[in-house]
Amino acid sequence: MGEAPLDGSASDYFGAMTESYDSLIRRSVPRYDEMTDRLAQYLPVDAGRVLELGCGTGNLSERLAKNLPSASIVFVDGSDEMIAVTRSRLGAGSAPAGGSREFIAARFEDLSPVPGSFDLVVSSISLHHVDDKAALYEHIRHLLRPGGRFCFADQIRGEPESNHQLNWRTWLEFCALPGHCSKEEIESLVQHSAAHDHYTTLADHFALLSGARFAEIDCVWRNSMWGIVTATAASAEKSGSERNNARQAVSVSRSWY
């Protein structure tokens, strides 16, 4: 699976495995293609300006390009190597039906396009690498026009803890199935997770999205640790007291259990 470094960023880790990624992801994420297809089904077909965060080797990107041929799509990944793979897979510049493709190697947190410039922000199994999701969701909502959609697939922390532990064991069993991952690959994935993953419960995702002024928040698909969440960007800025309420909403949702 290549020399995947654990001491750098999550992007360094994935950037070192462009060759093996597509095989490894299917051997280590249960129902990966089904989840990617389902996410693609929930995207608005009339989105004109689209941003994908964490495109990796372009598995969701390819579906976006096919389903939204006239859209202007910006693909972002923190790894130069991953962006290069997606670019060569899709082709840069103009798309056949008048859309365009742009490829940017950058961290999500550092993006600064014009506020309100996207109709859709989409991501697949990438956002769990960001610890401060309150800031991330605020940032994403600013990038969207009012009414724009934010749809992502990701690992979700189960709760109570016994649910999370069961999901974790189920994942390891899947990885260890014949023909799936070697012991070394499993060890590397577990170490990567400890170093770079920040799992958030569904209740906290909902509270954080709501706090960042998203509405119509829904979980449209779930399989053990993996889920798909969709939301709509609301319009107005929130007041200082609403911001405080949003932060409290997260601590309240944690103390329910």
Ligand X SMILES: C[S@@+](CC[C@H](N)C(=O)[O-])C[C@H]1O[C@@H](n2cnc3c(N)ncnc32)[C@H](O)[C@@H]1O
Cα 164 to its chain centre, rounded Å, is: 19
Residue nearest to ligand X (CB): 56
Considering CB under 6 A, how many residues would be counted as binding ligand X?
Answer: 21
The answer to whether residues 120 and 50 touch, using CB atoms and an 8 Å cutoff, is yes
Q: Which two tokens stand for residue 87?
A: 């670019």
DSSP symbols for 83-120: HHHHHHHH-SEE-TTS-EEEEEE--GGG----TT-EEE
- Choice between 56 and 203, CB closer to ligand X: 56
Spell out where the chain has E strands: 49-53, 72-77, 93-94, 100-105, 118-124, 144-155, 214-223, 226-233
Cα 67 to its chain centre, rounded Å, is: 19
Q: Cβ 220 to ligand X, closest distance in Å? A: 16
Name which of residues 150 to 209 contact ligand X (CB under 6 A): none
Q: Cβ 162 to ligand X, closest distance in Å? A: 26
The answer to whether residues 75 and 61 touch, using CB atoms and an 8 Å cutoff, is yes
Task: Give the three-state DSSP class for 74.
Answer: strand
- Choice between 55 and 175, CB closer to ligand X: 55
Question: What distance in Å separates the CA atoms of residue 151 and residue 31, rounded to the nearest whole number?
Answer: 18
- Choice between 131 and 216, CB closer to ligand X: 131
Q: Which two tokens stand for residue 194?
A: 């400890």
- Choice between 130 and 203, CB closer to ligand X: 130
Question: What distance in Å separates the CA atoms of residue 82 and residue 131, rounded to the nearest whole number?
Answer: 21
The interface region with ligand X, picked from 48-56, 154-162, 199-207, 222-230 by CB under 6 A, is 48-56
Instruction: Work out which of 28, 126, 210, 224 binds ligand X, going by CB under 6 A.
Output: 126
Instruction: Work out which of 16, 24, 25, 71 binds ligand X, going by CB under 6 A.
Output: 25
The answer to whether residues 16 and 4 touch, using CB atoms and an 8 Å cutoff, is yes
The interface region with ligand X, picked from 104-112, 212-220, 237-245, 246-254 by CB under 6 A, is 104-112
Name which of residues 62 to 101 contact ligand X (CB under 6 A): 77-79, 82
* 129: contact with ligand X by CB under 6 A: yes
Instruction: Work out which of 1, 28, 50, 54 binds ligand X, going by CB under 6 A.
Output: 54
The interface region with ligand X, picked from 120-128, 144-152, 155-163, 243-251 by CB under 6 A, is 120-128
Task: Give the three-state DSSP class for 150.
Answer: strand
- Choice between 157 and 253, CB closer to ligand X: 157
Q: Cβ 255 to ligand X, closest distance in Å? A: 29
- Could you list the residues that contact ligand X (CB under 6 A)? 10-11, 14, 25, 54-56, 59-60, 77-79, 82, 107-109, 124-126, 129-130
